[in-house]
Amino acid sequence: MKIAVTGCGPAGLAAAIMLTEQGYDVRIFERFEFPRPVGSGIILQPTGLAVLGDLGLHDDIHALGKRIDRIHGVTMPSGRQVLNVDYSVLGDDYHGLAVHRAALFDVLHARAQALDIEILTNVDVVDAVISGREIAIVDRRGQSFGPFELVVDASGAGTRLKHRAMQPARTRELAYGALWGAFNWPDANFDENTLEQRYVAAHSMIGVLPIGGCSAATDDQVAFFWSIKTGDYARWLKDGLDAWKSEVLSIWPATGVILDQIHDAADMSLARYGHSTMRTPYGRQLVFLGDAAHSTSPQLGQGANMALLDAWSLVKALDQSDDTNTVLRIYAASRRWHVRAFQLSSLALTPFYQSDSRLLATLRDWFFDPVAKLPIARRIVAGLISGMLASPPKGLMK
Ligand SMILES: Cc1cc2nc3c(=O)[nH]c(=O)nc-3n(C[C@H](O)[C@H](O)[C@H](O)COP(=O)(O)OP(=O)(O)OC[C@H]3O[C@@H](n4cnc5c(N)ncnc54)[C@H](O)[C@@H]3O)c2cc1C
């Protein structure tokens, strides 16, 4: 079977690798001139790590990341603990792994190169044309590539192929996004195995995530996040770095060692978030993976993990039938409840951390921690953060 994969992110690379290893004839199409990682530090959860383990990449990725045992959040100025999630509640082997996006990209890209997977760059895919049981893709310049028997669309939240899905989904832009940057790990003040957050109501949030080095030769780094309404970005630029640094310092003085490394507004990149869930993540001879199928705010830290799970599930579905339509139905069914549970949880919980609502922030500050201390709630919260809730694909988690 000839398969085109659009997009060279985690979903596209993982799918291309697994499909090639199963003997399919795969080509990747990427809009950038050089394939490159987009995005910041991310947490690979036990689910995503299981997929990478299945690919034989456990040691490669662990060599580049930082083990995360705990996620801890405190509301300011009261100093009240709001979030305290310990992966070990699920078992001794459970943990997250925080990595720079570049590290995840490099590990997957190196495997794709070792398998001689062809990556065609400068191909900005804008449409797909179906003829019988074949499909071709078309780029912005009108060039056509194909025919293929299947297109795997992994071109992220902005996919141009979504109108080809059985039930195209609308994207709701979220008011809040984040500024983020990667800097040298400050030796003092922070725990190197904890994602730490500070909140002021739900309108301000600071995140400090240890992410290890991007390569064996690079020193450890930290990903630094600041929640911001994307509509306020122009004002943030105009007000200048000093005003912002004073605000951050007044909330969390210990971040001074990180702020000292920020010399230019361009050191912090703006990430915008949208929420969208495709109910039926496939069309004729076409299937959607990762953010192309479901995108959301990264508050629960699941996006890249979901992308890896999608790729793994698609390849397992291909094992089960020779008929493409049947395969796509099996794939969609295998991911349905896990994806919906996390998309819904993300939609429900994000406003407690990123919104203008004082009421939600007050409820969070007073109730989240006491409730989460109940034994059953501790497991549910840990299951939510680790991606283990709502049964991830059968046969993957040992
Ligand atoms: C600030 C921030 C923090 C995050 N934190 C986490 C976290 O802690 N844990 C986690 O799991 N996730 C996190 N995420 C989400 C995660 O980054 C995404 O869910 C994940 O990257 C989705 O992978 P993907 O392969 O589906 O899409 P992408 O990573 O978006 O990759 C899509 C690829 O397709 C290419 N492309 C796009 N359009 C076209 C086109 N028209 N033609 C050809 N190629 C195209 C792009 O250039 C890119 O290479 C975070 C995201 C942000 C912004």
d(CA 231, CA 10): 29
Q: Which of 38, 85, 151, 194 to mutate to test the pocket of ligand 1 (most atoms within 8 A of CB)?
A: 38
pLDDT for residue 92 is more than 90 = no
Asked whether 9 lines ligand 1 (CB < 6 A), one says: yes
The answer on pLDDT for 66 being more than 90 is yes
Residue 270 has pLDDT above 80, yes or no: yes
Q: What is the pTM of this model?
A: 0.95
Q: Which atom of ligand 1 is nearest to the CA of 35?
A: 49
Q: State the Cα–Cα distance between residues 29 and 33, nearest whole angstrom.
A: 11
Instruction: Give the pLDDT of residue 5.
Output: 98
Rounded CA separation 308/44 (Å) = 10
**H helix intervals, 197-240:** 233-239
Q: In the prediction, which pLDDT does 16 show?
A: 98
pLDDT at residue 367 greater than cutoff 80: yes
Please write the tens of the pLDDT for every residue from 127-164. 999 999 999 999 999 999 989 999 999 999 999 999 99
What's the token pair of residue 20?
């090639």
pLDDT interval class at 35 (50, 70, 90): low
Residue 68 in contact with residue 193, Cβ under 8 Å? yes
| Ligand 1 contact, 41 CB (< 6 A) | no
Q: Would you state the pLDDT for residue 398? A: 67
| pLDDT(98) > 70 | yes
Given a cut of 80, whether residue 177 has pLDDT beyond it is: yes
Confidence of residue 392 (pLDDT cuts 50, 70, 90): low
For residue 248, pLDDT over 90 is answered with yes
Q: Are 385 and 300 in contact (CB under 8 A)?
A: yes
Q: What is the DSSP string of 72-102?
A: EEEETTTTEEEEEEEGGGG-TT--EEEEEHH
For ligand 1, whether the C-beta of 52 sits within 6 Å is: no
- CA-32 nearest atom, ligand 1: 47
Q: How many angstroms from the chain centroid is the CA of residue 215?
A: 20
* Residue 128 burial (10 A CB sphere; 0-12, 13-18, 19+): buried
- pLDDT tens readout for residues 306-347: 999 999 999 999 999 999 999 999 999 999 999 999 999 999
Residue 117 is predicted with a pLDDT of: 98
Q: Which two tokens stand for residue 198?
A: 């500070």
Q: What Rg value do the Cα atoms of the chain yield, rounded?
A: 21
Q: Enumerate domains of the chain plus CATH numbers.
A: 2-173+273-386 (3.50.50.60)
Q: Do β-strands 70-75 and 80-86 pair in parallel, antiparallel, or remain unpaired?
A: antiparallel
What percentage of the chain has pLDDT greater than the value 90?
A: 84
pLDDT in tens, 46-59: 999 999 999 999 99
- Whether the pLDDT of residue 37 is over 80: the answer is no
- State the pLDDT at residue 339: 95
Distance between CA atoms of residues 252 and 178, nearest Å: 17
Instruction: Give pLDDT tens digits for 202-228.
Output: 999 999 999 998 777 788 999 999 999
Q: What is the mean pLDDT of the chain?
A: 94
- With a cut of 90, say whether residue 105 has pLDDT above it: yes
Nearest of 43, 13, 45, 59 to residue 392 by alpha carbon: 45
What are residue 277's phi and psi, to 5 degrees? -135, 120
Q: Is the CB of 96 under 6 A from ligand 1?
A: no
- Alpha-carbon distance of 51 to 43, in angstroms, equals 14
Q: What is the dihedral of CA 266, 269, 270, 276, to 10 degrees?
A: 160
Q: What separation in Å is there between the alpha carbon of 200 and the centre of ligand 1?
A: 28
Maximum Cα–Cα distance for the chain, whole Å?
A: 64
Judged against a pLDDT cut of 70, whether residue 36 lies above it is answered with: no
Determine the distance separating the centroid of ligand 1 and the alpha carbon of 377, expressed in angstroms. Answer: 30
Chain mean position to CA 194: 18
| Six-digit token string for 323 | 């008929």
User: From ligand 1's centre to the CA of 373, what distance in Å?
Assistant: 33
Q: What is the mean pLDDT of residues 270-285?
A: 95
Closest residue to atom 30 of ligand 1, CA basis: 156
Confidence label for 389 from pLDDT (cuts 50, 70 and 90): confident
Instruction: Quickly state the pLDDT bin for 258 (edges 50, 70, 90).
Output: very high
> Is 390 a residue whose pLDDT tops 80?
no
Tokens of 253: 């003085």
Measured by CA distance, the residue closest to atom 26 of ligand 1 is 290
- For the Cβ of 140 lying below 6 angstroms from any atom of ligand 1, the answer is no
Q: Which atom of ligand 1 is nearest to the CA of 306?
A: 11
Helices (H) and strands (E) counted in the chain, each on its own, are 12, 22
